[in-house]
Amino acid sequence: MELVYVRGVNYKIYKMKKQFTLIAALLGLGVTAAKAQTASLQVIHNCADAAAATVDIYAGNTLLINDLAFRNASITFTNISAGVNIVVGVAPGTSTSAAQSIATFTVNFAPNSRNIVVANGIVSPSGYTPGSATRPFTLSTFTLGLAAAPNGTTTSLLVHHGSTDAPTVDIVAPFTGTNPVAPNILVNNASYGAFAGYLNLPTADYKIQVRDQNSENVVAEYSAPLQTLGVGGAALTVLASGFLTPANNSNGPGFGLYVATAAGGSLIPLPTSTISSTRLQAIHNCADLLAAQVDVYMQSAATGTASFRLIDNFAFRTASSYIDVPVGQTISLFVAPSTSTSSAQAIATLTYNLASTSKYQLIASGIVSPVGYSPSSATAPFSLIANANVRERSLNANNTDVLVFHGSTDAPTVGVSAQGVGPVVSNLSYGQFNSTGYLNLPSNTPAGNYTLHLTNAAATTTLATYSAPLNTLGTTGLGLTVLASGFLNPANNSSGPAFGLWAALPAGGNLVQLPVLSGLSVKETALNQFISTYPNPATETFFIKNTSDKSGSVKLIDLTGKVIATQTLGEGVSTLNVSNLNSGVYFVEISIDDQRLVQKLVK
């Protein structure tokens, strides 16, 4: 074991011109220092316990760093002995010898390695949550430190989670990825005490968000003005520091992100910033055939001067995942036909100014076509109906939190009762969300499979009964939306999709149909097991294979809702001649008895 000798040296002396020679002499390496195996070392004090506000660092019995204060870093030593065991002691700043160390660690640095050592944890036996039993004082070492970034236009950031009471987090730079509304996750699932490795970022000015480990909720946002600070080419260490809840930790220093440079000294705090984003989910529940599939475009100051395609071929009864959207500025959403090439072809334009304190859901509802629907577009016009209080996850991990939305233009005011629970929704009219907000339904056991009764407004008559198998569907821990969707009277609405209850999950994708147990008959998708179609796209002939034992009919419908061809559907394979059609998107409506299936056809 090697002992290193430093006798009462003020640390600032290392900044003198003959730094290498002086350090070599101080470390007892003499004139042979150049031939010895060495490593470099920087120590960063990130222990927020008041009992360790200032510490001395000993190597063996020798003082190595004197009075290193919380949120300070030493200058980078350039030739610490390597390949030998060194006992490092950490003592209070008032110490006079290594015997007063509050913790000791044995280190052995690899030759030529660049080591960054961060002091974290709790020293005091009480007054902190979590305490020293679960977050003991420790030295966390990163052995692959960089002296500089790969080039002068890049900044290398080593990220370290050193906040004892902060959970596992993600580090996100909103609106900077190739897809401006997909979270640009710089660090995924950073847990206490861990280094996340280097981020090599183009030297620019960033907004940096600390989010929960699902990247869903922003804990805090900071400015990281790398370009303004002129740190191109530098390698820096960024630390999560302090307490998320100071009141539970002896009113210690609050949480923040701090930067250590190779020059040492006080860590640089990243300035807090107003939160610049929130989350939004879009759900397509417009049952008008003219809008069976749409494109959605978006434009805002944060995402650029031009609109971009947010959702391509957004189909009826599908939902987007939750996406990042800017707050505190005008957002324009353009809804256009699925054949569109730009937002200039929009059939509807809507603008919003969202708040970071809310999370949003936009549900496309209503009628686009001027004729063929009752109520018509004059009474129930196409719109995006917003809710500013939605959840991606349930408040209780054992529940499913369910929001109910009435999106059926021709259905009356209704109520919903859960069997064994009683009325859960009352007086719900078209275009409304459940006025009492989310239903908090236990779903972590088989009892979490519910039976729902759709009733009249007075809750005196059951109109239909549905199964809501929340446990079977694996929705425990999630927040979801159940929608009344389609037409109660398809015959009065261009033979559109029939009424039903459908669930939108936070991950998006196809809505999940709640099975009908009695009452209203919803059989739109029952034909899927008997009908197959091909090819798609089609140029000359479109084939429809019917494996049921019944015949039916086929309609070919264009984007305006006009029926341009009809024919019977027999058993086996039928053909539909499409050779005379213009290139574009059409809909093929297949009906057998009271069952109906609509599929998109691309020519």
Write out pLDDT tens, residues 386-430: 999 999 999 999 999 999 999 999 999 999 998 888 889 999 999
Residue 204 CB neighbours (<10 A)? 15
Query: pLDDT of 465-520, one tens digit each?
Result: 898 999 989 999 999 999 999 998 898 999 999 999 999 999 999 999 998 876 65
Mean pLDDT of 443-458: 90
Q: Residue 482: which of 425, 406, 426 has the closest Cα?
A: 406
- pLDDT score of 14 more than 60: no
Task: Name the band, by pLDDT with cuts 50, 70 and 90, for residue 34.
Answer: very low
Q: What's the chain's average pLDDT?
A: 89
Residue 362 CB neighbours (<10 A)? 22
Mean pLDDT of 331-345: 94
- pLDDT score of 4 more than 50: no
Residue 515's pLDDT is what? 85
Residue 532 CB neighbours (<10 A)? 13
| Interatomic CA distance for residues 585 and 559, integer angstroms | 7
* Weakest-pLDDT range from 12-26, 208-222, 535-549: 12-26
- In CATH, the number for domain 526-602 is 2.60.40.3080
Question: Between residues 114 and 491, which one has the greater pLDDT?
Answer: 114
Start-end of H helices in 134-290:
226-229
Residue 35's pLDDT is what? 55
Residue 555's pLDDT is what? 87
Mean pLDDT of 184-210: 96
- pLDDT score of 556 more than 90: no
Give the domain ranges of the chain.
11-269, 278-387, 399-519, 526-602
Domain range 278-387, CATH class:
mainly beta
Task: Name the band, by pLDDT with cuts 50, 70 and 90, for residue 457.
Answer: confident
Residue 383's pLDDT is what? 93
> Would you give the end-to-end CA distance of the chain in angstroms?
79
Pair type for strands 422-428 and 256-260: unpaired
Task: Name the band, by pLDDT with cuts 50, 70 and 90, for residue 524.
Answer: very low
- The residue behind tokens 């002995």 is 81
Query: pLDDT of 342-374, one tens digit each?
Result: 999 998 999 999 999 999 999 999 999 999 999
Task: Name the band, by pLDDT with cuts 50, 70 and 90, for residue 93.
Answer: very high
Contact residues for 394 (Cβ-Cβ < 8 A; gap 6+): 400, 401, 440, 476, 477, 478, 479
Task: Name the band, by pLDDT with cuts 50, 70 and 90, for residue 216.
Answer: very high
Query: Are the folds of 278-387 and 526-602 the same?
Result: yes
- pLDDT score of 448 more than 50: yes
Task: Name the band, by pLDDT with cuts 50, 70 and 90, for residue 559.
Answer: low
Burial category of 226 from C-beta neighbours within 10 Å (exposed 0-12, middle 13-18, buried 19 and up): buried
| Interatomic CA distance for residues 213 and 169, integer angstroms | 4
Task: Name the band, by pLDDT with cuts 50, 70 and 90, for residue 526.
Answer: low
Q: Residue 140: which of 264, 213, 43 has the closest Cα?
A: 43
- pLDDT score of 21 more than 60: no
